[in-house]
Amino acid sequence: MSKFLRVPNGDYTIQVQPGGNIVLNTGFDQGTVTITGNLLVAGTTTTINTENMTVEDNIILLNSGETGAGITLDESGI
C-alpha cells in the first residue's frame, strides 16, 4: 500500500537530535530510493558503498574550493 505526503506550499524539513540518523530502508535488495531534482550533500565525508556506479557527466571536479597555487595536501585524484 502506497503512502503519499504532499506539501503544496513551502518546504518540508525532517530534523532529528544531534548525532541522530535518518534511514530510508527499502529492505535488503528490495527496492529503490528515487530523488527527483537536484541532490545537495553538505558534510565533510560522503561515503558511497556500491558495487557499480554510473556517472553520465564527462566532467568530475576535484579539489573544488582550493585556494592559492598547488594542492594543499599534495595529492589529488581518483
pLDDT of residue 4: 87
pLDDT of residue 69: 78
Residues of the chain with pLDDT under 50: none
Stated pTM of the model = 0.61
Cell of 5: 505526503
Identify which of 64, 10, 54, 31 has the alpha carbon closest to the alpha carbon of residue 72. 64
Cell of 75: 595529492
